[in-house]
Chain A
Amino acid sequence: MSRFDWLSEFLARFEDDHPIARYEDVRALAPAHRLELDAEDWGAAGKIAAAMGLRHAGVWADPLGDRPSESPQESGSEIEGPAIRVQACLERDGDYLILQTLVPETRPVLDSHTPLFPGVDRLERHAQDLTGVRFHGHPDERRWTRHQAWSTDDFPLRADFPIEGRSVRRTPADVDYPFTRIQGSGVYEIPVGPVHAGIIEPGHFRFQAAGEDVMRLEARLGYVHRGIEKLAVGRDPQGLMRLAGRVSGDSTVAHAWAAAQAMERAVGCALPPRATSLRAILAERERIANHLGDIGAICNDVGFAFAHVQCARLREQWQRRSAALFSHRLMMDTLVPGGVAHDISETDFRELRLDHAALHKAIAPLFDIIDDHPSLDDRLIGTGILAQADARALGCTGYVGKASGLAFDVRRDNPYAPYDQVRVEVPGETAGDVAARVRVRMKEVCASLWMLDRLLDALPEGEIAVPFPLPEEGAVGLGLVEGWRGEILCFVRFAAEGRIARYFPRDPSWFTWPALERLIHGNIVPDFPVCNKSVNGSYAGVDL
C-alpha cells in the first residue's frame, strides 16, 4: 500500500470548501508532498490539519524578491512586485506534507496556525521578525528573535536589507520585553540570565514563584541570533555546509546532514552507499557522545557526582576516538555535499569495533547503577512531568517526545539511507518525567551502539563522495534527519549559479523550549536545573 493514505483525506476535506488548491509538482520537496494554497485558505488548511490530528513541524517564510515566478504553478500568480512564499510542514505516521502560499511583500498577512498548534508560536514570530509576514489571529504580538539590533520595520531576510545592517550604534539591552506577569500576595519574580551562572549558552528565564513553587516560567531567547539565515544567502554548497555545521555545535553532524540532504534532493544527487553509511556512523557517534554527557550532567544536578565523572570519562574517550578517526573531536566539517570527507581504513575499522565493545562493557554496570539508585530515584522520578497531551500539542520529538509516549523517529518512520537497511529501535516511556527522559537516553545509547556495529558489519565498499552537480536556479529541497535531539528539518532554495537563496534549519528545540515552560509547573525552583538539563534545548539552534 502506498504511503500518504491520510493525504487523500486531507485533500478531500479541503476540496469540499476550498476548490482552488493546486496539487502539482508534488515531489519537488520529496519525501514530502507539496500543496499550493491561496493565501486566504491558509487558516482553513490549518483547521483541517488540526482536526485530523496532524503534527505541525514548523513554518518558515521565504522572501522571493521580484522573482516570484520560479516554479510552474506560481507563473499564474496575480501578485505584482516582490512576494514572500510561506511554507508549513505537517506530519503524521511519518508522512510529510508541505503547505505553501504566496503573499505580497507590501501586505504580507496570513491566518495564524498558533491557536491550533501552540508549538508554532515562536516560529511564526521568528518569521514575522525576519521577513515581515504577519500572522493574523496570533495570540502573542510580542517580538521574538528581534531584540534591538534592528528596528521594527526592518526585515533582515528581505533582499533590500543589507547584510551589514543599518545601524552601527551600540545595541542596547533587551530590558523592556513585556513578560506576562502573575500578580498576587506572596508571588515574586526571579529573573535569570542572559549570562547564566555556569558554562552555558545565553538566554533569559523569568520565574514567577510562590514560596519555592514555580507558578510560571517564561523563556526569552534570541540572544545568540547571529543571522545564520542571512549569512547563508549567496554561499555555495560547500560554504553552506560549513555554516550548517555551526548552527548548533553539539548537533554539527545532524544539521550538516540535513543541509546536505536538502541540497542533494534539490539537485537529484545520488550518494554512494558507503557515504551514507559513514554519515550514519558519524550521526550515531554524535548521539552517543551527547547523551553520555547529558546523563552525567543530569545526575550531577541532583548531587550524584559519581555518574557525572564516569560519563564525562567515557565521553572524553569517545571524542578522542572521533578526533583520531575523523580529525575532529565533535566531527565538524566531516560531511561535504555529495558525501563525506573522511574514509575509514581497515585499521580504523578494527579500532572502532574494539571501541564499541569497550563502551558497551563500560556502560552496562554504570547504567545499572543510574537506573536503580535510591537517591537518584528520589530526585528524578515524578520531577518535571510533561504530559503526553502537552507533548503532542507542542509537537515534541526526540527524547522529550519519546519519554512522554510519542515514539516518533524519522530514522524509522520515514527512513533515509542507510536507515532503510538497519533496524531502528525507538525507546518509549510514558511517565514523561526526568527519570523517563534519562531512561530514554540510556536506551538510545545502547540502541545506537548496537546499530553502529550493524553499520560496520554491512559497510559497503566504494566511493565516499560524488561530485556535486551545479544546481538549477529555483531548485528546492527538504532535509529530514533524526538528530540526537529529535527531528531536524531543513529547507534550501537555490539561486542562479548554484548559490543559496534561502536556508532554513528547524531544530527540534523550537518545540522543546515551550515544553520546558510547561513541565516546570508545580516543581520547586531548585529543581529547574535538572529539568532544564533533561530537556536540554539548544539556544543557538533556535536563535539562528
Chain B
Amino acid sequence: MFRILKQSFRTGVVTEAPPDHDDGELERLGIEVRRRIDARFGGSLAIRQVDAGSCNGCELEIHALDNPFYDVERFGIHFVASPRHADVLLVTGPVSRHMETALRRTWRAIPSPKFVVAAGTCACDGGEIGVSYASCGPIENVVPVDVKIPGCPPSPMDLLKGLLGALVIDRERV
C-alpha cells in the first residue's frame, strides 16, 4: 500500500485545462455548454459510443478522453453502456453493411432529444473506405448526423472541442 501511495503522491495531478479555443471563445462556449447541459440534459451528458466499422484508431483516442490528462467526467460528460441511458450517439468508422442494422437499432433505442456525432474522417465522409459492397460510407447515409469531427483519428482535443461544440448548435428535432 505504501508503494502505491508513494507512486500516486509522486505523480501528482496531471489533468489539463479544457481545450484552448481562443480564451474569450472558450469562456463563452463553456458557459453556453454548461447552461445547455443543465437545461436539456439534467446537468450531465451521457454518450453511447458505437463503432460501426472503424479500424479501432478512433476508439483509442476516445478512450484517451478518460485518461487523467483529459478526464472528461469532470465536465459532466460520461460514456454509458446502454443506448437507453444516452443523450448522444457517438459513431466512428464508415458504416459497414454488416453493422447497418445494428447502428440503426441503437439509434432508435436512444430517447429524444438526442444528438448524433460522427467522429473521424471515415464517419464524416467515408475516408479511405468510402462506399462499396461492404460499406455504406459516412454515418449520415444511415442515421441523421448533427455534428462531424474530422481527423484520422481525431485527437482527444479535437473530440473534446467537437463534443462541447455539439451542445451549442441550435436544434429543435425531438
* Residue ranges of A at the interface with B (Cβ–Cβ < 8 Å): 147-150, 156, 161-166, 170-174, 194-195, 197-202, 222-227, 230-231, 242-243, 246-250, 252, 293, 306, 309-310, 312-313, 315-316, 319, 323, 329-330, 332, 365-366, 368-369, 538-540, 543
Known: A313-B67, A368-B3. A199 touches B134 (CB 8 A): no
Known: A147-B98, A250-B57, A540-B54. A366 touches B69 (CB 8 A): no
In the assembled complex, the Cα of A452 lies from the Cα of B119 at a distance in Å of 33
CB 8 Å contact bits of B40-70 with A (1 = contact, 0 = none): 0000000001111111111111111011110
| Complex interface: chain A residues within 8 A of B100 (CB) | 170-171
Main secondary structure of the interface of B (DSSP, over half): mixed
> Is A332 in contact with B152, judged by CB distance below 8 angstroms?
yes
In the assembled complex, the Cα of A538 lies from the Cα of B51 at a distance in Å of 13
Question: A16 CB to closest chain B CB, in angstroms?
Answer: 45
| Complex interface: chain A residues within 8 A of B8 (CB) | 306
B150 at the interface (CB under 8 A from A): no
Number of B residues with CB within 8 Å of any CB on chain A: 55
Our count of residue pairs bridging A and B at CB distance below 8 angstroms stands at 171
> Is A149 in contact with B62, judged by CB distance below 8 angstroms?
no
| Complex interface: chain B residues within 8 A of A230 (CB) | 132-134
Max count, chain B CB within 10 A of own CB: residue among A174, A315, A329, A369: A329
> Is B97 in contact with A149, judged by CB distance below 8 angstroms?
yes
> Is A310 in contact with B98, judged by CB distance below 8 angstroms?
no
Which residue of chain A has the shortest Cβ distance to B7 in the bound complex? A365
| Complex interface: chain B residues within 8 A of A293 (CB) | 60, 63
| Complex interface: chain B residues within 8 A of A306 (CB) | 4, 7-8
| Complex interface: chain A residues within 8 A of B94 (CB) | 226
| Complex interface: chain A residues within 8 A of B129 (CB) | 226-227, 231, 246
Question: A324 CB to closest chain B CB, in angstroms?
Answer: 12
> Is B7 in contact with A165, judged by CB distance below 8 angstroms?
no
| Complex interface: chain A residues within 8 A of B98 (CB) | 147-149, 171, 174, 222-225
| Complex interface: chain B residues within 8 A of A249 (CB) | 54-60, 153
Known: A224-B96, A225-B96, A246-B128. A165 touches B69 (CB 8 A): no
| Complex interface: chain B residues within 8 A of A174 (CB) | 98
Question: B157 CB to closest chain A CB, in angstroms?
Answer: 10
| Complex interface: chain B residues within 8 A of A163 (CB) | 132-133
B81 at the interface (CB under 8 A from A): yes
| Complex interface: chain B residues within 8 A of A368 (CB) | 3
| Complex interface: chain A residues within 8 A of B7 (CB) | 306, 310, 365-366, 369
Interface members, chain B 60-98 (any A CB < 8 Å): 60-64, 66-69, 79, 81-83, 93-94, 96-98
